[in-house]
Amino acid sequence: MSRLRLIFLFAVLLLSGPLLHAQFKQDAFSQNYADSTDKEAADSSKLFNFKEYFGGLSHQRSASLKTLFMGSTVFVGGQQIYNKDYWKLPITYGGIGAGVGLGIYFNQRYKTTEDPAFKTASTWSFITAGAVYWATLMDGVACYPSSLKHDPTRATLYSLLLPGLGQIYNGEAWKVPIYWGLIAGAVYFLDYNNTNYIRYKNIYNQATSEDPDVEKPPVTAEAAKYYRDANRRLRDYCILFTAGFYLLQVIDANVFAYMQDFEISDDISLRVSPAVIPMNQYAFTPPALGVGLSFKF
């Protein structure tokens, strides 16, 4: 009786092998077994996910810091809603609304009276609204709940909002004077060359003017044109350098936040040991013996 059972089990295994193999091929080509995983991977690869953002605001699902930040740049206050800091919303909306409203009001008064005091008040009102908007984004990044000690997304957004803050967050404050010096130097020469560009542009316009009442400058039109184009070119280079240094410190904050948990030990070793390759349940390949290499550093 026992022999008959063994023969029956052996026959079942032989017959079920090709069927399982055929089913695996069918699933592999139809990708039914990996549809959910592929869909989740595709969703996570999107630059911005509306479902994730508004699902996070309704507290029905978690949302990444990147998604919340991008959404809150348009839907102001979204980060505070996700963080359940509802008491900050009146401050946010009130500050931005008051700044914009007063800016428009003072600008209208300036157009009516041409009083420069109203123009100054309008400018500062708009600056105040922008500062509240910036502070809202910064607060949302700082208060986002994260289990990571050094969150790369947070470090990146810190540097994006305030150059050098990401380096401070990563514990590399010594880099801040370097980046600030590079950015400040680029901005200084940008302003310097832009001032000279405007100056020689006006001189060139005076030198080429056909109006007899316009006083001719002591510089020829050809010389003024040369210096005008040269300073404009240098100004454009300074714009690129400023943007480049700013982008560099953002990338630096992101990369070194990822590397905070990456440790390199002086104990470097190579270990060789035998290894067993298990049987492939789909291809029905038998187990095999091999060699395993492990590199420790």
Q: Domain boundaries in the chain?
A: 46-145
Strands of 186-284, DSSP E: 269-277
pLDDT at 296: 60
pLDDT at 269: 63
pLDDT at 28: 42
pLDDT at 279: 59
pLDDT at 209: 80
Residue 10 has pLDDT above 50, yes or no: no
Helix, strand and coil in the chain, % to nearest 5: 70, 5, 25
Q: What is the pLDDT of residues 143-157, one digit of tens each?
A: 999 888 889 999 999
Q: Is residue 169 very low, low, confident or very high in pLDDT (cuts 50, 70, 90)?
A: very high
Q: What is the pLDDT of residues 198-237, one digit of tens each?
A: 999 998 988 888 777 777 778 888 888 999 999 999 999 9
| Torsion sign across C-alpha atoms 179, 183, 189, 193 | positive
pLDDT at 179: 95
Number of H helices and E strands in the chain, helices first, is 11, 2
Q: Does residue 238 or residue 279 have the better pLDDT?
A: 238
d(CA 199, CA 211): 19
